[in-house]
């Protein structure tokens, strides 16, 4: 089955700096890669996703890039703000109506004011 690795487990940045979170996946058949943000005491919320037919997708301060050859994808957050502090999960899914998401272990991002 699919295996998603997420490193490091924690990341601390200064407010205003950029943050990059990287994930790797094992199955080259995976074609959908969402990123979820989980604030303290809440459920995860989808913030951006990318499919294997594109290499990059942007939404305001966040972007996701995909390298299919290397089997990794990254979340980029620019001009970080304290409210960006949260746990971020990456996930991967293979094609097919019955496919399921495989999640990474999550990374805790802390933005220092």
Partner 1 sequence: DGGITQSPKYLFRKEGQNVTLSCEQNLNHDAMYWYRQDPGQGLRLIYYSQIVNDFQKGDIAEGYSVSREKKESFPLTVTSAQKNPTAFYLCASSFGTGPTYEQYFGPGTRLTVT
Q: Which residues bind partner 1 (CB under 8 A)?
A: 4, 6, 9, 31-32, 34, 36, 41-46, 49, 51, 89, 91, 93-106
Nearer to partner 1, 15 or 46 (CB): 46
Interatomic CA distance for residues 44 and 31, integer angstroms: 21
- Shortest distance, CB of residue 79 to partner 1, whole angstroms? 26
Nearer to partner 1, 78 or 99 (CB): 99
- Shortest distance, CB of residue 89 to partner 1, whole angstroms? 6
């Amino acid at each position: 089955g699919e295996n998603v690795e997420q490193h490091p487990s924690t990341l601390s940045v200064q407010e205003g700096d950029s943050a990059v979170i990287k994930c790797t996946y094992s199955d080259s058949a995976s074609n959908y890669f969402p990123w979820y943000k989980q604030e303290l005491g809440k459920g995860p919320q989808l913030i951006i996703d990318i499919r294997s037919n594109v290499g990059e997708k942007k939404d305001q301060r966040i972007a996701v890039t995909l390298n299919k050859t290397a089997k990794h994808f990254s979340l980029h957050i620019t001009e970080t703000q304290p409210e960006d502090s949260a746990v971020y999960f990456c996930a991967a899914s293979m094609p097919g109506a019955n496919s399921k998401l495989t999640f990474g272990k999550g990374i805790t991002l802390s933005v220092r004011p």
